[in-house]
């Protein structure tokens, strides 16, 4: 009987213990779910999870953005408690580092932000704050690293960051710092120069900012020269675009002065539109061979097989061409044409081609 009584008692105790454990687990699950689902400023969270570090940090971060100023002592104290409760979370370092910047403690702020970055190398705001500090204090290599990492982290918004840094390169207070930073990282410099080339920045400003290396590689496929030329042409600034084209590709003055560039089809350096644009596709194909233009026209559609944008001074010009081939006057025709792109775009010249 004693054994049965003890067994019954133990069973009751176990049931009570399991019941208490079940209630505790349910309560914990409820709190965890509430923390995940409810907004950080929900009043219910103050009762359910008053000391949850994640909640404290969410509130502080939101307040930092909304107030754009120094947080009150109570909230700062909650951030410090959260830092102790969650020592691997980088957000306390972001919040406190930002506050130290506002409180004119830049050196302490940099140390705090760098500590946070070691915990979370992907924290974007820390990268941007450190980038600003490194630029202002002349740590150009460090600034270049921060910018490169930030551009990779934001993915598609990388061009926006490049555009922002391009604007910093134009501001008097940050211009020299940005120039030094760019020259320590050619890849970064190219990204910013491309952003400037696509903006409304004057060509002279871009050339003045570019390093000797950037100037030497301006004509590369993915560099800034072609976007700058394309932007000027799109704005109908043909004279300035032609001058930039000459500077980017280092075309000798004698060749620039010729009415048609590379009229002998020698494959001279330089990109379209002031050099030849050659087509290849369903229309036909055009390519340079033996100092001549070889054209294969399929005769099934109309279009342009070879073209070049010319910048001609007012005056009289003589156009002549030597033709070799089997094209006759019957059927679809080939011709050289000239039209004014800045005017009515109507043909000024059309020379039909036939050969034997």
More confident residue, 325 or 98: 98
pLDDT of residue 211: 93
Looking at the domain assignment, is residue 324 inside a domain? Answer: yes
The owner of tokens 């710092």 is: 177
The helix-helix angle for 186-198 and 140-153 (nearest 10°) equals 60
Which residues fall within 8 angstroms of residue 90, CB to CB, at 6 or more apart? 116, 117, 119, 120, 123, 126
Q: Does residue 328 fall inside a structural domain?
A: yes
Which of the listed ranges 29-38, 257-266, 279-288 does the model predict with the highest average pLDDT? Answer: 257-266
Q: 102-117, pLDDT tens digit by residue?
A: 888 999 989 989 998 9
Q: Residue 75 domain-assigned? A: no
Question: Quick one: which of 160, 159, 132 has its CA closest to 146?
Answer: 132
Residue 236's region, left for phi above 0, alpha for psi from -120 to 50, else beta, is: left
CA distances from 191 to 23, 25, 227 (A): 58, 54, 12
- Average pLDDT in the chain: 77
For residue 18, pLDDT beyond 50: no
pLDDT in tens, 148-173: 777 666 654 456 666 777 777 887 87
CA distance from start to end of the chain: 125
d(CA 15, CA 176) in angstroms, rounded, equals: 75
Here the tokens at position 250 are 């280092």
Tally of domains in the chain: 1
Whether the CB-CB separation of 180 and 138 falls below 8 Å is answered with: yes
- Find the angle CA(212)-CA(217)-CA(218) to the nearest 5 degrees: 95
Flag whether 221 is in a domain: no
pLDDT at residue 5 greater than cutoff 60: no
- For residue 283, count other CB atoms closer than 10 A to its CB: 17
Question: Who wins on pLDDT, 37 or 276?
Answer: 276
Mean pLDDT over residues 234-248, rounded? 96
CB-facing half-sphere around the CA of 201: CA atoms within 13 A = 26
Rounded mean pLDDT of 25-32? 33
Tens-digit pLDDT profile for residues 176-227: 877 877 887 788 788 889 989 998 899 999 999 999 999 999 999 899 999 9
* Structural domain includes residue 51: no
Of 280, 203, 284, the C-alpha closest to 248 is 203
Average pLDDT of span 214-243 = 95
Whether 35 is in a domain gets the answer no
List the domain range (segments joined by +) for residue 314.
Answer: 277-353
| Mean pLDDT computed over 237-264 | 94
State residue 10's pLDDT score. 35
Residue that is written with structure tokens 């930002």 in the block? 98
Residue 52 in any domain: the answer is: no
Percent over 90 (pLDDT), the chain:
26
Does residue 345 sit within a domain?
Answer: yes
């Amino acid at each position: 009987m004693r054994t049965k009584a003890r067994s019954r008692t133990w069973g009751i105790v176990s049931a009570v213990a399991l019941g208490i454990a079940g209630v505790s687990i349910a309560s914990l699950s409820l709190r965890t779910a509430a923390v995940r689902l409810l907004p950080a400023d929900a009043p219910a969270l103050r009762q359910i999870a008053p000391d949850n570090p994640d909640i404290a940090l969410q509130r502080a971060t939101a307040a930092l953005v909304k107030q754009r100023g120094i947080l009150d002592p109570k909230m700062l104290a909650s951030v410090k408690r959260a830092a102790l409760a969650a020592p691997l979370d980088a957000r306390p370092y972001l919040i406190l580092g930002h506050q130290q910047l506002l409180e004119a403690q830049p050196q302490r702020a940099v140390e705090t932000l760098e500590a946070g970055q070691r915990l979370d190398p992907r924290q974007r705001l820390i990268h941007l704050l450190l980038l600003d500090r490194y630029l202002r204090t002349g740590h150009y290599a460090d600034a270049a690293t921060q910018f490169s990492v930030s551009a990779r982290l934001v993915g598609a918004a990388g061009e926006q960051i490049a555009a922002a840094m391009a604007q910093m390169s134009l501001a008097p207070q940050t211009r020299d710092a940005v120039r030094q930073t760019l020259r320590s990282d050619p890849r970064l410099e190219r990204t910013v120069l491309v952003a400037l080339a696509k903006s409304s920045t004057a060509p002279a400003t871009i050339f003045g900012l570019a390093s000797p290396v950037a100037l030497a590689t301006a004509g590369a496929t993915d560099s800034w020269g072609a976007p700058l030329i394309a932007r000027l042409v799109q704005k109908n600034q043909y004279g300035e675009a032609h001058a930039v084209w000459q500077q980017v590709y280092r075309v000798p003055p004698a060749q620039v002065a010729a009415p048609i560039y590379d009229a002998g089809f020698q494959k001279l350096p330089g990109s379209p539109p002031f050099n030849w644009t050659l087509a290849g596709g369903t229309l036909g194909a055009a390519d340079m061979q033996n100092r001549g233009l070889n054209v294969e026209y399929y005769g099934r559609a109309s279009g342009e097989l070879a073209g070049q944008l010319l910048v001609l001074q007012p005056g009289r010009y003589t156009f002549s061409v030597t033709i070799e081939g089997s094209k006759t006057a019957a059927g679809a025709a080939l011709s050289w044409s000239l039209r004014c792109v800045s005017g009515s775009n109507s043909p000024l010249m059309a020379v039909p081609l036939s050969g034997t």
